[in-house]
Structure 1
């Protein structure tokens, strides 16, 4: 840890202790979660090349809330081990001597205040910005910590029915590019990406409905300069490039496209539009039912004389457009011994013409928690990357589960079995000249066609030792089948058998 960071932490802790003593003007509250996990896996970043298949990993998060009144407060969330500290790693600050740079990060920092003489609440700063999603309790399109402003207010309430409005503006990216125009460096030029969203939540007894819409203003250089370190263990920062753009073909990744040769779309500003609705029904207890649907479109212009789709290198206009939809449902039935349920979705896939863009739903990187290893639903989110991705686009899936089964006091189990099938055209690997499989680090994760499929099984067991300590043992296995007649040898770069076993200790306070 650098001297500046040490002094900052010392100063903040000192202030948090002394301020309540000096007049009770501000009430300081502290909460957090400390995770220590041991895992063995063959999924990235483990089990690749010369990497070990075993890892001990930790991450410590602490949130400080400074509450002046019910109408004004501020919060700071600090993370030790932003992307996890791998035990023994010098760059993570976990080697002999336990010191290193850049291991402490500010995950969130915001103020909450109420507009005087109104019920409108405002949050400003780095904060969780999330579109609604009742099927998985997470949005499939946007759900990340983002610098921005949120304003929420009630609109109507009567006889148990209420409606409100929540608006947010977020700035995921700005001032990251070092762009060269006409041989001249123009730093931070047209490189901001801003999102604007409106949610209208409606609530009644046993019913929640949230229609929403979002617009993104995307500068032509906003997806450049984000992060060129593709070995970083959590690609949350730069993966949106792959989620917003079509397949590039011929082994190209988004770093090469946006940082080097092909960013000449001559489209100063790109545009993104999304709309959706999510519904949760609980009035028929013990049933819990949720349905949702989403459509989105991102247009970043076109690339003239794009050569990567043609084995002979002949150029043709490539439309940088991605538009598509997905629909999902979930039904759970709660018994005294556990909760069996089913979750299913369909996400539109690409047709067989790579030049007209993509027909998949455009998404930002979001930890869509469907299953532990295929998607982002593990107990500890830093345990390996995901085999299939972070979103439902380009595939359909069915997940059967039995949650919270308990035979022993304080010990609960969740069992899941899932099947996934691609919806992208089986002609795309050939038509898009995919001489290598799309990179997981900076793209769509797994790209499944109509001839490809996967299935997953997992068991997660959590023992509550005390009110503040949990121990989780989780095992997951993903069988990935890529059709050799579709991929013509490209599939050999991917593991057919993907697995992980992890043991995690979580202290919350």
Structure 2
């Protein structure tokens, strides 16, 4: 009962603040809710967790509610507060008895325009993504996640050229005080610059990011470790107290030949280049998507990507492009964490970096009013040397740096199909069905007999059905 009382008090407080604020400001509330069940068989192609120490529970019911409140002083100034409740039925805040409070803040930022101009400043906890073409959902480097950041956007040439500059503190492990009287570098900061260009039938965004990574920041707790560092520094750490990371790229969208449209991204990234040789990491990533929009009943799409992979040695650093939190994926593919509406337990979490792939989609299929589908086939082939993966696995035994099914060697591949459906019951209420299947071929000489034999006993697949509501 005490927990229910806390929830009720918090809700009353938010409503009270809104009512008081409305005397001087306009309060706008938007949000979304989703409730859905997921049947997912053979996570990680084995039915076990990543370390192969736990077995899966195949059916879960998830619920998420988000509320965004905008406190608008005028057309130039507002503050956004976003709160979220998300859990599985029968656990935590959604358990049948003694529910625990599980409200979290996922947005909290001030946004305003400088007086007498169109320069916009956004400061606080906000959604942040590095630039990417719209075909591929979001950035393969850092996309669709939240960060405490300061971002400034300004037009340089009206409707043609703009500039976006930003700073984000991704990690500050020890906060105000380090653990001893010796100061350590426990932060990870990034600086972003982008120049969006818009012409008739053409869009491009050259961009660059510089990151300053402290040796004592907790990258594992943030979920960055395996994506950011090399295998050599995963084994032995960094020599330098701080290492620079940087990315440079361009996004391209060509609609001048409409109804045939083209989308592409080119990115090069590198990190720890001044550290010991084994700690260096650098590589390329390229993608290309083509679609035909001339039909009302469906949109055919084809796509592909390529990135550099690890060579046979971990002593000379990593040849994969460093990334932070990817949210990249074409066609709502079951392989990647990308655009699925029913987010939890939605995909295989495959790393597109260190691989190449091809695919095709029939998007926006609609023969009946209010009913749409998407059908996507994806093939992914590894670009990483088997020797590099095998040597690290041998040195560490069970480790999270390379995972079977997430990181593929040159002789390994995945195929996947997803068929997803949405029916708009009302304007803001939809019934969503998402299905996915994937088969993987893995080398026993890399991962061992136990994991590969388990993967041969059944393919990965999921069925998720639920309701989504937006207001």
Give the structure 1 partner of residue 166 of structure 2.
168
* Partner Cα distance (1:431, 1:118) in 2: 58
**What do the CA deviations read for 1:437-496 (whole angstroms, capped 9, x no partner)?**
6538x9797110110000000100100100110111111011111123444436427635
The aligned length equals 456
Residue pairs, 1:274-285, within 5 angstroms: 274-285=247-258
Whether the 8 Å CA contact 1:175–1:187 is kept in 2: the answer is no
Of 444-453 and 163-172, deviating more is 444-453
Give the structure 2 partner of residue 362 of structure 1.
322
Q: Compared with structure 1, are the counterparts of its residues 342 and 387 closer, same or farther at alpha carbon in structure 2 (3 Å cutoff)?
A: same
From 392, 396, 407, the counterpart of 1:432: 392
Residue pairs, 1:112-123, within 5 angstroms: 112-123=111-122
Of 478-487 and 26-35, deviating more is 478-487
* Partner Cα distance (1:444, 1:111) in 2: 43
* Partner Cα distance (2:230, 2:352) in 1: 15
Q: Compared with structure 1, are the counterparts of its residues 414 and 59 closer, same or farther at alpha carbon in structure 2 (3 Å cutoff)?
A: same
Give the structure 2 partner of residue 407 of structure 1.
367
Q: What TM-score comes out, normalization by structure 2 length?
A: 0.89
- How far off is 1:2 after superposition? 8.1
Residue pairs, 1:221-260, within 5 angstroms: 221-223=216-218, 227=221, 237-238=222-223, 240-247=224-231
Residue pairs, 1:145-184, within 5 angstroms: 145-157=146-158, 162-176=160-174
Whether the 8 Å CA contact 1:174–1:188 is kept in 2: the answer is no
The answer on 1:506 being equivalent to 2:468 is yes
* Partner Cα distance (1:199, 1:52) in 2: 43
- How far off is 1:246 after superposition? 2.0
**What do the CA deviations read for 1:222-265 (whole angstroms, capped 9, x no partner)?**
135x63xxxxxxxxx32x1111012369xxxx6xx6xxxx44x3
Give the structure 1 partner of residue 51 of structure 2.
none
Secondary structure of the 2:390 match is helix
- How far off is 1:179 after superposition? 11
Residue pairs, 1:334-483, within 5 angstroms: 334=293, 335-370=295-330, 371-380=332-341, 382-384=343-345, 386-389=347-350, 391-434=351-394, 436=397, 439=400, 446-483=406-443
* Partner Cα distance (1:502, 1:378) in 2: 14
Whether the 8 Å CA contact 2:152–2:165 is kept in 1: the answer is yes
- How far off is 1:351 after superposition? 0.4
- How far off is 1:297 after superposition? 0.5
Give the structure 2 partner of residue 137 of structure 1.
137
- How far off is 1:331 after superposition? 0.3
Q: Compared with structure 1, are the counterparts of its residues 145 and 33 closer, same or farther at alpha carbon in structure 2 (3 Å cutoff)?
A: same
Secondary structure of the 1:472 match is strand
The answer on 1:319 being equivalent to 2:318 is no
| Higher normalized helix content (fraction of residues) | 2
Give the structure 2 partner of residue 126 of structure 1.
125
**What do the CA deviations read for 1:359-389 (whole angstroms, capped 9, x no partner)?**
0011011222334421013533533264243
From 279, 289, 293, the counterpart of 1:330: 289
Give the structure 2 partner of residue 272 of structure 1.
245
Give the structure 2 partner of residue 286 of structure 1.
259
Secondary structure of the 1:466 match is coil
Whether the 8 Å CA contact 2:137–2:327 is kept in 1: the answer is no
Secondary structure of the 2:95 match is coil
* Partner Cα distance (2:5, 2:275) in 1: 48
Secondary structure of the 1:427 match is helix
The answer on 1:197 being equivalent to 2:192 is yes
Of 48-57 and 453-462, deviating more is 48-57
- How far off is 1:207 after superposition? 1.1
